[in-house]
Amino acid sequence: MSTKIDGKQVAADIKANLAERVAKLKAQGVTPGLGTLLVGEDPGSVKYVAGKHADCAEVGINSVKKELPATATFEDIAQAVRELNEDPACNGFIVQLPLPKGIDQNAIIDLIDPAKDADGMHPYNLGELVLHVRGDISTPLPCTPRGVIELLNAYDIDLNGKEVCVLGRGITIGRTIGLMLTRNAVNATVTLCHTGTRDVVDHMRRADVIVAAMGSAGFVTPDKIKDGAVLVDVGVSRVFDEEAGRYRIKGDVDKACYEKASAYTPNPGGVGPMTRAMLLANVVEMAERSL
């Protein structure tokens, strides 16, 4: 029988542990804080940032909010980043993407103090991840890849020596999860597939684990996977539901795959909650390192 990997429950357990660690930090005179910089009023971004601050309240982390209008210039945004870099009330912060059209997002990300990079996506921190293949890493880790690995660990799914097929080469997970999966501590073998990959289905059928992060609704179907594969669905697509008369979120994995898989993450309710939990974990770890 296939195992449903419950990201909501695992994330709740992690947040309960973080709340205990936050209480200990406060007893030592340190209050962890998460900062957010929101530019404009994109509905998705507004909702996502609000969710992050709700998570902070749940575990006792301080919230630092900065908001700028969509008309903000590059220098306006850069100044807000510099202020968060210097603000002792936040141990880590994120710049909510996407930024308004015409703003160089990479240049803004480059301005973040790597020690305060709560998303773990600053070039310096990604470079540390590349360099430290064998030992421990003391820099923030990318939230979604970390969440995937923590989720599989919670269900005792051993990745040592396993063939992992990653679908999609986006920086949020596709290109970064390979860095984490191939570290000695995890020891998986990774094939990264993308739009230029020939015979992608052949790679999928060989895989013990498939991490689908393409944003192509229902791309992973039963005929493309082997019996007993583990399916991790990170894809997000908005698909119109004719019966309901509205759009719904749909993942990259067709639900018909579940019976053939040994384990799977639902979407929603799988990786998403873990990404948010890992953001909190990064902030708490930053505070712990400051002692």
Give me the chain's average pLDDT, please.
Answer: 96
pLDDT in tens, 147-158: 999 999 999 999
Q: Which residues contact 185 (CB under 8 A, 6 or more apart)?
A: none
Is the model more confident about 14 or about 290?
14
Q: Are residues 90 and 149 in the same domain?
A: no
Q: At what angle do helices 7-27 and 271-289 cross, to 10 degrees?
A: 20
pLDDT of 291 above 90: no
Active-site annotation holds for 96:
yes
**7 within a domain of the structure (yes/no):** no
Q: Look up the domain containing 70 and give its range.
A: 28-114
103 & 171 share domain: no
- Average pLDDT rounded to a whole number, residues 176-183: 96
Say which DSSP state 290 is in: T
Nearest one of 191, 164, 258 to 218, comparing CA atoms: 258
Q: How confident is the model at residue 145 (pLDDT cuts 50, 70, 90)?
A: very high
**Cut 0.85: pTM above it:** yes
| Claim to verify: residue 267 and residue 148 sit in the same structural domain | yes
What's the CATH number where 40 sits? Answer: 3.40.50.10860
Looking at the structure, tell me whether residues 157 and 105 fall in a common domain.
no
**Do 159 and 75 belong together in one domain?**
no
pLDDT > 90? residue 243: no
pLDDT at 184: 94
Consecutive H or E run containing 52: helix 43-59
Query: Of the residues 117, 119, 208, 252, which is catalytic?
Result: 119
Q: Of 55, 66, 96, 252, which one is the catalytic site residue?
A: 96
**Residue 236 CB burial class (10 angstroms; 0-12, 13-18, ≥19):** middle
Going by the annotation, the residues of the binding site for NADP(+) are 168-170, 236
Q: Is residue 245 part of a domain?
A: yes
pLDDT, tens digit (0-9, with 9 covering 90-100), for 190-242: 999 999 999 999 999 999 999 999 999 999 999 999 999 999 999 999 888 88
Which pLDDT belongs to residue 134?
A: 87
Residue 254 and residue 160 share a domain: yes
What is the reported pLDDT for 133?
86
Among all chains, which residue has been given the structure tokens 């020891």?
A: 187
Instruction: Grade residue 97 by pLDDT with cuts at 50, 70 and 90.
Output: very high
Specify whether 147 is located in the same domain as 265: yes
Same domain, residue pair 167 and 244: yes
pLDDT in tens, 103-113: 999 999 999 99
Confidence at 25, pLDDT banded by 50, 70, 90: very high
Residues 181 and 261 in one domain: yes
Q: d(Cα 112, Cα 122) in Å, to the nearest integer?
A: 7
Q: What's the confidence (pLDDT) of residue 232?
A: 98
> Is residue 198 domain-shared with residue 92, that is, in the same domain?
no
Domains: count for the chain: 2
Q: What is the pLDDT of residue 285?
A: 97
* 120 inside domain: no
Q: How confident is the model at residue 136 (pLDDT cuts 50, 70, 90)?
A: confident
- What is the distance between the alpha carbons of residues 141 and 98, in angstroms, rounded to a whole number? 20
Which position among 15, 52, 224, 250 bears the catalytic label?
Answer: 52
Selection from 290, 17, 273, 244 nearest residue 265 by Cα: 273
Note the pLDDT of residue 204: 98
* Buried-state track 262-279, b at ≥16 Cβ within 10 A, e below 16: ebbbbbbebbbbbbbbbb
Q: State residue 110's pLDDT score.
A: 97
Same domain, 149 and 265: yes
pLDDT the model gives residue 200: 98
Tens digits of residue pLDDT in 39-93: 999 888 999 999 999 999 999 999 999 999 999 999 999 999 999 999 999 999 9
Q: Is 156 a catalytic residue?
A: no
Whether residue 177 sits in one domain with residue 68: no
Residue 234's CATH number: 3.40.50.720
Annotated active-site residue 105? The verdict is: no
pLDDT at 7: 98
Residue 20 lies in a domain: no
